[in-house]
Amino acid sequence: RSHAGIAEALCKNAAISACAKAGLWREAIHLMEELAERRTVVSWNAAMTACAEAGEWQVALALLGHMVQGWSHLGAPTCTPNAITFNTAIAACKNGSKWIEALCLLSDMAASRLSPDVSTFTTSITACERGGVPELATALWEDLRSSDFAPTTPAFNAALMAAARASAWEQALRLLGEMEAG
């Protein structure tokens, strides 16, 4: 890669990220398309974030599919997703209340030999809570608790929301006690 090509990719990736923050998902995708063979996992993740933030979960998942399988009409090579890619796709599903898709992505993540992190668990818990399946959110909470990660305040909040949805006041009180105990 030439220095000019690398500089252009860095600038476009920054612009895609700016579009994500502004909710301009179409513009983010357009900029990513312009990158062609200079597209990196950062480019894909930023474009997916733009879609997730704009509530365009279907487009975010389509981008993930294109990322893995190649974007044939652009002649772009495939790119290997990382944990951030999956977290972004799960967040898009969470924003669309698509808990089944979120859990499928969690499974795909494991099949890709990528380990979930506390963000993955938190987002998946929230997706299940928003999707009206608090019992699955509770199961994910237990998976988080048995992992090597310490739950964060957002993770506790997600689990508390799931307990509230399930009218599980004893679980909510236990969670509050754990949170206060730190």
Question: Which pLDDT band, with edges at 50, 70 and 90, does 77 fall under?
Answer: low
Between 158 and 70, where is the model more confident? Answer: 158
- Give the C-alpha separation, 50 to 58, whole Å: 12
- Please say whether the dihedral angle defined by the alpha carbons of residues 49, 55, 59 and 65, taken in this order, is positive or negative: positive
Burial of 146 from C-beta contacts in 10 A (0-12 / 13-18 / 19+)? exposed
Mapped onto helix, strand or coil, the DSSP state of residue 44 is helix
Residue 139 pLDDT > 90: yes
Question: What type of residue sits at position 30?
Answer: H
Stretch 119-126: mean pLDDT: 96
pLDDT number for residue 39: 86
Question: What type of residue sits at position 171?
Answer: Q
Stretch 100-121: mean pLDDT: 94
Q: 43-62 pLDDT, tens per residue? A: 999 999 999 999 999 999 99
pTM for the structure as a whole: 0.88
